[in-house]
């Protein structure tokens, strides 16, 4: 059985528009940089349980936890899938969350 990753972030898609959202202090925010980072499993699991209320209330669908790591003082998603969800399509840098001028660059190039 795979070990539970040390650091995790909780994410989901908003029901009305499908937008990627992240968990921050009991609510959903649009940007990965604002997301809560869970350092231990009980806290992450508690957030996931709390998130299910938002599923019931038709705010989001399919919340889940994913692995992140700390790199040069920054939090980054471990898997390519989550890196792309955080940023937007790597082939259209003008679209998705990466398109917002204030967003720092995401390293998703080949």
Question: In the complex, which residues of this chain contact another protein (CB under 8 A)?
Answer: 13, 15-20, 55-58, 61-62, 67, 78-81, 84-85, 88-92, 95-96, 109-110
Q: How many Å apart are CA 103 and CA 62, to the nearest integer?
A: 26
Cβ of residue 88: shortest distance to another protein, in angstroms?
6
Contact between 5 and 67 (Cβ < 8 Å): yes
User: With respect to another protein, which residue has the nearer C-beta, 25 or 98?
Assistant: 98
User: Which residue shows structure tokens 């898609």?
Assistant: 13
User: With respect to another protein, which residue has the nearer C-beta, 28 or 88?
Assistant: 88
CA distances from residue 55 to 2, 31, 102, 108 in whole angstroms, order as listed: 27, 19, 30, 30
User: With respect to another protein, which residue has the nearer C-beta, 33 or 58?
Assistant: 58
């Amino acid at each position: 059985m795979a070990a539970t990753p040390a650091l995790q972030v909780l994410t989901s898609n908003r029901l009305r528009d499908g937008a990627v959202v992240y968990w921050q202090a009991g609510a959903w925010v649009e940007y990965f940089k604002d997301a809560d980072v869970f350092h231990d499993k009980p806290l992450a699991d508690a957030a996931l349980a709390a998130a299910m209320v938002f599923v019931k209330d038709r705010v989001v669908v399919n919340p889940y936890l994913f692995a992140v790591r700390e790199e040069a003082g920054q939090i980054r998603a471990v898997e390519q899938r989550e890196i792309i969800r955080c940023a937007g399509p790597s082939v259209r840098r003008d679209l998705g969350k990466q398109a917002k001028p204030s967003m720092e660059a995401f390293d998703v190039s080949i």
